[in-house]
Amino acid sequence: MTTAWSLYALLVFPGLLFLAFLGWTLEFVDRKLYARMQNRIGPPWFQPVADFIKLAAKEDLIPAEANPRMFKLMPVLALAAVLTAFLHIPLGNTQPPIAFEGSVVVVVYLLTIPTMTFFLGGWHSTSLYSMIGAVRTLTQLFAYEVPMLLAVLAPAVLARTWSLTKMAAFYDQHPFYAATNLIGFLVALVALQGKLERVPFDIPEAETEIVGGTFTEYSGRLLAIFRLAIDMELVAGASLVAAVFLPFGLGLAPLWGFLLYLLKVLFVVFLLALLRTVTARVRIEQMVAFCWKWLAPIALFQLLLSLVLGWRIWTIMKS
C-alpha cells in the first residue's frame, strides 16, 4: 500500500470519517428504536451529530485534583484503539486494510483498550463517583471479557484460522456450518452489551447511583471524543459480531456486499436495542455471577461443539 492509500484508509474509508458517520448513524438508529419501543417519538436523525458539535464547542473542565495528562490522553486513546480495531474487520466481502493470521485475537484485544481508558480516565478524575464507576468498569470487564473471547473463538476454531478474512472464506464455502455458531452469537451479543456498558449492564455509569460514573468529570471536547469512541465501539463490536457470526452473502458484488454488511450491523444493533428495552439494570455482583455462572459455561459449550465439529469436518476433508 502506498502512503496516500494508507492515509485514505486511515482517515476516510474505512477509517475515521466513515467510522464516525456510521457511529452517529447507528447511535441514531439505536436511540430511535429504543424510543419507538418505549412508545416515544425519539430524536431526529441529526441528533448525535448535533450533540457532538454542541459538546465540542463547550469548555473543557479539568478537575484541579485530576492528573491533567492522563485525563486528556484517555479519550484520544479510546478513539485510536477503536479505529485500529476497525481496520482489521472485513466489511462484508471487502478486504480489510490490515489482514493477517491472528486478526481475531488482535481485534478482541484492541476492543478491550477503550474499557481500560474508561477505567483510567475515571480513576484519574479523582472524583468519588468517577472512581466508583472506574472500579465497576474494571469489575465488569473481568466478567464479560472471557465469555466474549470464548464465543468469538468458537467459529475460529471451527474454521481452523485466526484470520477474520480466512474465516469469512471458510464459511463462504461451508455456509451451513455458520448455523452451528448460534449459541456463540447470542453469548457474544450479551457480552457486547456489557462491553458497550448499556442497560442491563450500564452499571459503571448508573445515573441514579453514581451520577455519570466514569464520565462524571468529563465535559466539552474530551467528553465529545469519549462519546464518539463509544459510538465507534458500537460499530466495531457490531461489525465483529456480524463478520464472525453472520458470514453469508459474501459472493455478492462489492456494492451489494457492502449494503448487506450494513443490514447485518443494523440487525445486530436492533437486537442490542431490544435487549436494553426489556431489561432493568442489574447489580454489579448479579452481573458478575450471571457472566460466570451462565455466559461463560454456555460459551465453553459452544467451543466444545466447535472443536468436535471441526475435528469431524477436517477429517472428512482430508480423506
Q: Please, which residue, 32 or 264, has the CB nearer to another protein?
A: 32
Q: How far is the CB of 157 from another protein (least distance, A)?
A: 32
Interacting residue ranges for another protein, rule: CB under 8 A: 37-40, 128-129, 131-132, 135, 199-200, 202-203, 206-211, 277-286
Q: How far is the CB of 168 from another protein (least distance, A)?
A: 35
Element (H, E) at 148: helix 128-159
CA-CA-CA-CA torsion sign (175, 176, 181, 182): positive
Q: How far apart are CA 105 and CA 157, in angstroms?
A: 12
Of the pair 255, 280, the CB lying nearest another protein is at 280
Nearest to another protein of 83, 192 (CB atom): 192
Task: Report yes or no: 168 and 240 within 8 Å, Cβ to Cβ.
Answer: no
Burial 223-240 (b: 16+ CB within 10 A, else e): bbbbbbbbbbbbbbbbbb
Task: Considering the complex, state which of residue 165 and residue 216 has its C-beta at the smaller distance from another protein.
Answer: 216
- The least distance separating another protein from the CB of residue 281, rounded to whole angstroms, comes to 3
Instruction: Give the nearest distance from C-beta 122 to another protein in angstroms.
Output: 13
CA 298 – CA 150 distance, rounded (Å): 9
Q: How far is the CB of 155 from another protein (least distance, A)?
A: 29
Closest among 29, 5, 4, 2 to 231, alpha carbons compared:
29
Question: CA torsion angle for 26, 30, 36, 37 (degrees, to 10)?
Answer: 150
Instruction: Please state the closest distance from residue 46 (CB atom) to another protein, in A.
Output: 23
Q: How far apart are the first and last CA of the chain?
A: 40
27 vs 260, beta carbon nearer another protein: 27
Supply 94's cell numbers.
471487502
Residue found under cell 438508529: 29
Q: Which of 239, 214, 238 is nearest to 227 (CA)?
A: 214
Minimum gap (Å) between residue 216 Cβ and another protein: 10
| Minimum distance from residue 101 beta carbon to another protein (Å) | 41
Q: Whose Cβ is closer to another protein: residue 88's or residue 195's?
A: 195
* CB of 143 or CB of 210, closer to another protein: 210
CA distance 41 to 295: 34
**In whole angstroms, how large is the CA radius of gyration of the chain?**
20
Indicate the residue among 114 and 200 with the shorter CB distance to another protein. 200
Cβ 199 vs Cβ 210: under 8 Å: no
